[in-house]
Structure 1
Amino acid sequence: METKKEELVFHLSRLKKALSTLDEVLEHSFSEIVRDATIQRFEYCFELAWKVLKKALKIEGIEVVLPRQAIRSAFEAGYLQNVDIWFEMLEDRNMTSHTYDPDIANRVYESAKRLPEEVRKIIAAIENNEGGNTLNEEKN
């Protein structure tokens, strides 16, 4: 059975791969198709990101269930630098089912463009152990 640390490393790897797909689509010039593809990739990158935070927090002994809890706790633990951006992206993620409305779709697209930098920050924080003892020591 994998340890919590090995599981976190595995999920970080998955997040990095997903992030590369978001980066890839963001290299393209804006079109409705690019916007829609970006929104889809934003959704799964955001989901993976908050779940990686959840796993890192669990290793720290902090139990969370919901994305909002994970964001708040990750900020308090030092994994996130700007909690407001993450709460805005969470709101936008929650609006993705309404992207048939061009105004909402454009708002989510703009939010998606901010996600890669923010995800790289949490990956670095986890890998560099800024949030505590995540990758150095495992708590039971």
Structure 2
Amino acid sequence: MVEQPSESLRRKIVELKRAVDGFGQVMQYDYSGRNSIELDIYKNACIQKFEYCTELGWKTVKRILDEQGGESPASPKLVYRHYFLNLFSDEDMTDALFQTINDRNLLSHVYKESVFDEVYERLPRHLSTLKQLVSMVQKVLGE
């Protein structure tokens, strides 16, 4: 791992944890009894938190790879593949993170209500994956 993480990497890891914690808090909100407009606003908030955490997650891992002194790939999937398969040998986690990227890409490139709803249904699983990612990258800080 990174012998002595830079202050900017430390801040990035803390920022990722805060973002994922915020995503978790939004996902726990009880929206029962809300009208369709409020429900739509809630779902959009959850999706926005997911997209932000997904971006921040892969960019944090990229920063870790950069600080290890090697060149890190530029694309999210290659960053995750390099980090997890070469350092942790954790194929299941890599696959789960790939799914977060796939769903983020679906939301970014195609807007269909059905796709939005499908991704929304997978958000609890993505939240769990992102929480695991936070735990893994916090090890860089010795936590």
Match of 2:47 in 1: 39
Quote the RMSD (CA, aligned, Å).
2.3
Match of 1:78 in 2: 88
Asked if structure 1 preserves the Cα contact closer than 8 Å seen for 2:5 and 2:141, the reply is no
Asked if structure 2 preserves the Cα contact closer than 8 Å seen for 1:98 and 1:104, the reply is no
Match of 2:98 among 63, 87, 111: 87
Matched residue type, 1:33? I
Match of 2:117 in 1: 106
Matched residue type, 1:124? S
Higher RCO structure (Cα 8 Å, ≥6 apart): 2
How far apart, CA to CA, are the structure 1 residues paired with 2:76 and 2:104? Answer: 11
Which consecutive unaligned segments of at least 5 residues does structure 1 have? 129-133
Match of 1:67 among 57, 76, 80: 76
**TM-score, normalising length: structure 2:** 0.77
Matched residue type, 1:51? K
**TM-score, normalising length: structure 1:** 0.78
Match of 2:64 among 23, 48, 56: 56
Percent identity reads 29
SS of corresponding position for 1:95: helix
Matched residue type, 2:132? K
How far apart, CA to CA, are the structure 2 residues paired with 1:56 and 1:98? Answer: 28
Asked if structure 1 preserves the Cα contact closer than 8 Å seen for 2:50 and 2:123, the reply is yes
How far apart, CA to CA, are the structure 2 residues paired with 1:79 and 1:117? Answer: 19
- Larger % of helix: which? 2
